[in-house]
Chain A
Amino acid sequence: MTLLVADGVTKTFAGITALDNIELDVGPQEIVGLIGPNGAGKTTFFNCLLGILKPDGGRVTFEGRDLARVAPYKRARLGIARTFQRVELFSGMTPRDHFLVAERVRNGRGALWKDVLFMGGPSADENERVGAMLELLDLVPVADRPIESLSLGVGRLVEIGRALMTEPKLVLLDEPSSGLDRHETEQLAGQLRTVQNERGFAILLVEHDVEFVRSLVERVFVLDFGTLIASGPTDEVFADSAVRKAYLGDIV
């Protein structure tokens, strides 16, 4: 059974069609790419999946459940996690804090009355899970440093770790390589692959970096001017002449 299905998603802004009848699906544990030129509607589509925008037509289902009336924060609890193109971190907190917050939301053990009764601190079991994630992403040396003092590359990893702490079934990655250099990008791709192997979640990757997409993704969807112009196994799609024209120009 497929995990996420976008069925005919359509979105218009002031008469301009930003997304026209988009069909996309992601299976369990699958890595799927979404590429397209600027202004093709990738971000709009992403926001429709996450509930930040409401599609004008079509529907998005997750494990067969219609998401239309599910608030963004509730989607996280269903098992959809995400990262941000411009990193969004909790300023003033450490990577460990980031993971603890996500862990606490996942297990739902937090409550105001528990705080008041001195029961708000992390439990042994929470510490263990957070420690495991820090180790998995090689973040142990920086675990207790304030997030502002860390580099963008580390910030990206913290975002990914925070997303994974919610034990998602699907992670949406929004241009994870932007702002990283080639070396950092390769490192990130490697880490993503390792983590995905270990934890077995599905990924929907929105990316510009063609190399990065190719190195990770089995199946890819291409958007242009709000319509899906191609989809299928990565190599086939990159061989498609329409795709080359719209997106890749002559560089491949």
Chain B
Amino acid sequence: MEKLLGALIDGVAFGCVYALLAVGLTLAYKTSGVFNIAFGVQAFASGAIYYQLHVNDGWGILPAFIISVIIVAPLIGAILDRFLFRHLRSAPSMARLITALGLLVAIPQIVLLKFNQTEATRPTGIVPGGDVPYHIFGATLSRDQLSIMVCAVIVAVGLVLVFRYTALGIRMRAVVESPRMAELAGTDADRIGTAAWMLSSLVAGLAGVLLPTVTSQVGDIYYTTLLTAAIAATVLGSLTSIPLAFFGAIGLGVVQELLNRYLPTNSVLASNLRPSLPFVVLFLVLILSPRLRNKRELTDPLSSVDPPPPAPAAGQRSRELTIGTRVAGVLFGLGIGYYVFFHGNASVVGQGIQVVIYSIIFCSIVVITGIAGEVSFAQATFAGIGGFASAQLSSSAGMSVIFTIIIGGLIAAAVGAMLAIPALRLGGIFLTLATYAFALFFDNVIVSLSWVSGGLFPVVAPRPQLGSIDFASDRSFLVLCLVFLVIVGVIVMQVRSGTTGRYLSAVRGSEVAAASVGISPTRARITAFALSAGIAGVGGALLASYEGHANKIDYNATLGLFWVVIVVTLGSRTVEGAIQAALGFVLFSARVLPDWIPWIINHVQPFLHVDSLPNAVQFIFFGFGALTYAKHQEGILEANKVKSLAWVQGKIDRFKSGGRTKPGAAAVDTPGAAP
């Protein structure tokens, strides 16, 4: 009885933390239409500031609370609204998701420039004497736990009342549905939007300072992990019901605590089920919830007031220019390749190999995002599956490595297809969340199994051997990787211009219309998922082989998020984009930050000497880079390339016609004009 009561109390307290996050996340979605996956890191910012002020700098609870929760948290919300999300109201939901993802990557790194989270242990709550226990029938309830419960209930009840009964609530809902129509009804949509962001960010801040008392450390990883459980609860409420999200979160907390107490401590079930519960629940809720099935986003009837910029027309380049750019590109590549291969030292060759391998992996993102238009957060996991499978098969079963690399890809493809089958009817953001749940589940549970990763010692992945050719040396391995890249690149290009690509872009353009001519949207997407996972798997297997062992930190889910960020920022539509992203990913941490930027800074001015920039800069740089996604969905580099080529084309046209015709012959009809 005491044991049960204790479990209930701890479970409810834990559940209330989930509930705060879940309610806040629901609020953010309801009021801004953004599924704010950066909600956890917003909470982290407040939690870190509170800890810094209260624990490190010795401020009192109240002033520290006021600064971190009442002032900073809403301020962050106001800034995000003013500079980012306000401009994305009519953007597709995927653009908003990518923007939030950029923040998820960048914000913690900004905080960590100033905040040392490894020493941020023994945090305190927002009431004095937080560990004072109250005894109820022999079970204990601490003051911290009580404060969490009280806060969660106040927030949930308060928000429900605001939404249902106040003018502000009605206005917020109206603005979400259609800011312009709300304006026509006399509502200042921008102000309401800002208010909504500030309100949801305030909840994030509150959750941020309360949460460390249950995790006993202030670290960004806790916030992201707990957010997953909160997402599960949010999805239970179909993203819109605050009460359902609240009770779902508490239920989740209680079940988790009951498992904690009642499962035998050493059983396989306990050691696996407990940490994975939030991910399993999220995944199950996503694929089973009947309410999501018919969930259609309400579209703004006035969205045509600001139509999205027309897609860049690629077909208007002349043949000469296309051939010219291709030749230039190939020559440039050959030049770099020649330098790396014949003159590069060991580290240059190593970086060359990494660029090639990551280009292959990033091609998988081109398939799933650039062609199929879906966002997967599990690409690192698919790479991992390929890496572990290939390493296990070659080192344990002694199979030929070239062969196991391909088998690794096939296994990853099979897993991708299996993941896709139940998740695909969801589409859009729910599909993305399902891939995220899967990636976290893999990270937290599967990867620690010894038949996957080899347990404590990473499983050895030998270099391949083909007949008498041994790829043990880095230079020869580079050539092998290049061969793989060429094959993968050609496959991706062929698929894009072939039947599969056409079907996928039809499904992407209009799912109902695609079905109306007989395309099975599900089948098209499963193909894309399997192909993408397979490519990632081959890349992951090569990566393991290059490093000599399959290393789980190379396939971490968070890293996978960063991959998505970097590829969509630089260009997710083309193989070139993937290669550029790989160059950015590898060279930024290996060259640009430690050598090149300090060299430039130290040579242009004599006053300030810089040694090496922290690696965090890379995450901040590309995290902010992702914020441009909404404007340039084809990627920044791709957009600029199209722009500059159009300029060159204009010059060519003018030159050819002797300067007589108008530049920019790209005549476009006004919308709706009669033919």
Q: Which residues of A contact B (CB under 8 A)?
A: 50, 52, 71-74, 76-77, 81-82, 84, 88-93, 97, 100-102, 104-106, 109-112, 114-121, 141-142, 144-146, 148-154, 159, 162-163, 165-166, 184
Residue interface bits B494-510, CB-to-A below 8 A is 1, else 0: 11011111110110111
Report chain A residues within 8 Å CB of B311. Answer: 91-92, 146, 148
Q: Is B518 an interface residue (CB 8 A)?
A: yes
A94's closest neighbor in chain B, by CB? B315
Q: Tell me the residues in window 626-675 of chain B with beta carbons closer than 8 Å to chain A beta carbons.
A: 668-669, 671-675
Contact between chains at B518 and A110 (CB < 8 Å) = no
Number of A-B contacts (CB under 8 A): 141
Complex Cα distance, B514 from A100, in Å, reads 12
- Whether B516 and A82, one on each chain, are in contact in the complex, defined by CB atoms closer than 8 angstroms, is yes
B418 within 8 A of A: no
B512 to chain A, nearest CB (A): 6
Whether B67 is near chain A, meaning CB under 8 Å from some CB there, is no
Please name all residues of chain B whose beta carbon is closer than 8 Å to the beta carbon of A73 when the two chains form the complex.
514-516, 518-521
Contact A105 B498, beta carbon cutoff 8 Å: no
Partner of A151, one of B310, B505, B519, B675: B675
| Contact residue among B310, B499, B509, B668 (Cβ-Cβ distance under 8 Å from A89) | B509
User: Does B519 contact A112, Cβ atoms closer than 8 Å?
Assistant: no
A159 to B514: give the CA distance in the assembly, Å: 11
Write out the residue numbers on chain B whose beta carbons fall within 8 Å of the beta carbon of A93: 502, 505-506, 509
Contacts of A162 in B (CB 8 A): 513, 517
| A112 and B517 contact, Cβ closer than 8 Å, known pairs A92-B509, A146-B310 | no
28 interchain pairs (CB within 8 A)?
A73-B516, A73-B521, A77-B518, A84-B513, A84-B516, A88-B512, A88-B516, A89-B509, A90-B513, A91-B311, A91-B509, A92-B311, A92-B509, A93-B502, A101-B503, A102-B518, A105-B517, A105-B518, A109-B499, A112-B531, A115-B497, A115-B498, A116-B491, A149-B669, A150-B675, A152-B672, A162-B517, A163-B517
Tell whether A121 pairs with B498 under 8 Å between CB atoms, given A153-B675, A184-B674. yes
Within 8 A of A (CB), among B69-123: none
Judge whether A89 and B520 touch: CB under 8 Å.
no
Please determine whether A110 and B498 come into contact, CB atoms closer than 8 angstroms: yes
C-alpha gap A153/B674 in the complex (Å): 7
Measured in the bound complex, the distance between the Cα atoms of B499 and A119 in whole Å is 9
Does the CB pair B516–A163 fall under 8 Å? yes
How far does the alpha carbon of A142 sit from the alpha carbon of B674 in the complex, in Å? 12
Partner pick for A81 among B503, B506, B516, B675, CB 8 A cutoff: B516
**Which residues does chain B contribute within 8 Å of A165, judged by CB atoms?**
517
Question: Inside 8 A of B512's CB, which chain A residues have their CB?
Answer: 52, 84, 88
B313: chain A residues at CB < 8 Å are: 146
- Do B520 and A148 touch across chains, with their CB atoms under 8 A apart? no
- Name the CB-closest residue of B to A159: B513
Interface size class of B (residues with CB under 8 A): 35 or more
Chain B nearest CB from A137 CB (Å) reads 12
B499:A110 contact, CB within 8 angstroms: yes
Cα–Cα distance between A145 and B675 once the two chains are bound (Å): 12
The 8 closest A-B pairs by CB, nearest first: A120-B498, A110-B499, A115-B498, A90-B509, A76-B518, A88-B513, A73-B515, A88-B510
Is A115 touching B519 in the complex (CB atoms < 8 A)? no
Complex Cα spacing A149 to B315, Å: 14
For A72, give its contact among B505, B516, B673 (CB under 8 Å).
B516
Contact of A76 among B495, B500, B515, B671 (CB under 8 A): B515
B548 → chain A closest CB, angstroms: 31
B166 nearest CB across to chain A (Å):
28
Q: Are A116 and B495 in contact (CB under 8 A)?
A: yes
Contact flag A151-B494 (CB < 8 Å), given A105-B517, A120-B499: no
- State in angstroms the CA–CA spacing of A184 and B674 once bound together: 9
Chain A residues closer than 8 Å to B491, beta-carbon distance: 116
Q: Contact: B675 with A142, CB < 8 Å?
A: yes
Given A89-B509, A162-B517, verify A112-B668 contact (CB < 8 Å). no
Using A114-B499, A151-B675 as known contacts, say yes or no to A72 and B515 having CB atoms under 8 A apart: yes
Contact (Cβ within 8 A) B503 A148 = no
Q: Does B527 contact A (CB under 8 A)?
A: yes
A104: nearest residue on chain B (CB-CB)? Answer: B499
Q: Which of A114, A118, A121, A166 contacts B518 (CB 8 A)?
A: A166
- Report the bound CA distance from A103 to B248 in whole Å: 48
- Complex: how many Å from CA A117 to CA B494? 8
Closest to B511 in A: A88
Q: Which of B300-316 contact A (CB under 8 A)?
A: 310-311, 313, 315
Q: Mark B511-552, 1 if CB is under 8 A from A, else 0.
A: 011111111110000010001000000000000000000000
Nearest CB in chain B: distance from A109 CB, A = 8
Name A147's closest neighbour in chain B (CB-CB).
B509
B671 and A151 contact, CB distance less than 8 A: yes
Chain A residues closer than 8 Å to B495, beta-carbon distance: 112, 115-116, 120
A152 to B505, CA, bound (A): 21
Cα–Cα distance between A142 and B675 once the two chains are bound (Å): 9
Question: Residue-by-residue, is B418-432 near A (CB-CB < 8 Å gives 1, otherwise 0)?
Answer: 000000000000000
Q: Identify which of residues 462-515 in chain B touch chain A, using a CB-to-CB cut-off of 8 Å.
A: 491, 494-495, 497-503, 505-506, 508-510, 512-515
Which residue of chain A is the closest to B517 with respect to CB atoms?
A102
Say yes or no: B310 contacts A149, CB within 8 Å: yes
Residues of the A chain whose Cβ atoms lie less than 8 Å from the Cβ of B494:
115-118, 120
Instruction: Determine the chain A residues whose CB is within 8 A of the CB of B520 once the complex forms.
Output: 71, 73-74
